[in-house]
Structure 1
Amino acid sequence: MSDKRSSSPSSSRQRPWLWGGLMAAMASLLPACKSPPRPPEPGPGSAVQGPSAGRPGSSDAATPRAYRQDAARHLYAQNAPRIYQGQLPAVLYAIGVLEVDIDRNGRVQRLHWMRAPRHAPEVIAEIERTVRAGAPYPVPARMGKVTYTDTWLWDKSGKFQLDTLTEGQL
């Protein structure tokens, strides 16, 4: 006669902790699967290089939206201590939408505020200074020149995230 202990309905009722433990373990692993975006480590042959490299890296982006990723990573790499880590608070000090024209050499040609945080003129000035100081940007190799738009999410601490690489809000 075969052993029927493993297939009896009472065996699953005797170990509810097993299923509960398994579900809790799986639930705790799900958030670990998503890691926040990190700026790339500059290195030899890197597509995005800072001004200390003497010349800008290049971007293979074919659209302004794709180039925005390269520009955001470039700004994050140059401003690492100023990037707000983690999710931003529910209420931000300032939000601005800035359009940036980049020429074929990665230089900033024009800044145009689509939505300026007028209640915080110091933030407007600091964002403009940060964008200009970020030049040269990755050369838009496939487009020749590019106009891209990004949203600046500014915390009262003076740290920021760009909407392109944001970790979200609480």
Structure 2
Amino acid sequence: MKLKFVSMLAILICAGCSTRTTDAPRERSAGSASRIERVETYPDATSTENTVDGYKRDLAQRITEVNSIKVYTTRPQALLRSVVVVRYSVDGGGRLLRSEIMRSNRDRETEATALASLRNAGPFPKPAPHLLRQGKVELSETWLFNNDGRFQLRSLALPQMDQ
């Protein structure tokens, strides 16, 4: 009986691993090169991440993928044009509930880009149920803007240039 249970459990685990889907890129630097992976979700579009920080990276990857023409993939320049911090919340279904600028240098163009890129990326992968507080997950993200108006998200950003 135990052997049958263990065998069945192993089959279910393997089946779960093979039915994950992908929704957004994950960028990592490997020496001087970077590669893009995709965010893993379960068949019901729930993120496989079990921590708030992991879920935040999933959302950053989703934002980056959807807004790829507005994102730069090299290291941020030494003196950034703008840094915009946005606080936002996502419900259990992955829908953006609200967003607001928490910090900025008052560059209206970059503020609008940050908020629009967040809205455009929805719906997001669903957060794991244990991450929800009162039916939502509260997060903040920092948009780092180069002079050309393209951005990188701090959760995924490469180290900033020295000069």
User: Would you say same fold, with TM above 0.5?
Assistant: yes
Distance 1:111 1:33, change over 3 A: closer
Q: Please say if 1:66 is aligned against 2:45.
A: no
The answer as to whether partners of 1:117 and 1:124 remain within 8 angstroms in 2 is: no
How far 1:124 sits from its partner (Å)? 0.8
Higher helix residue share: 1
Which of the numbers 107, 114, 123 marks the counterpart of 1:127? 114
Amino acid at match of 2:159: G
Q: In 1, distance between residues paired with 2:44 and 2:35?
A: 20
How much is the aligned-residue C-alpha RMSD, in angstroms?
A: 2.5
The answer as to whether partners of 1:57 and 1:138 remain within 8 angstroms in 2 is: yes
How far 1:128 sits from its partner (Å)? 0.7
The answer as to whether partners of 1:106 and 1:138 remain within 8 angstroms in 2 is: yes
Q: Please say if 1:34 is aligned against 2:31.
A: yes
The answer as to whether partners of 1:75 and 1:134 remain within 8 angstroms in 2 is: yes
Amino acid at match of 2:85: V
Amino acid at match of 2:54: A
How far 1:33 sits from its partner (Å)? 5.0
How far 1:41 sits from its partner (Å)? 4.2
How many pairs does the alignment contain? Answer: 129
Q: For 1:71-113, what per-residue CA distance to the aligned partner results, in whole angstroms no more than 9, with x for missing partners?
A: 0111111122221121111011100111110011111111122
How far 1:37 sits from its partner (Å)? 5.3
Q: In 2, distance between residues paired with 1:37 and 1:104?
A: 32
Higher strand residue share: 2
Q: In 1, distance between residues paired with 2:84 and 2:147?
A: 14
TM-score by length of 1: 0.66
Q: Specify every segment of 5 or more residues in structure 2 that has no aligned partner in the other structure, as ranges.
A: 1-28
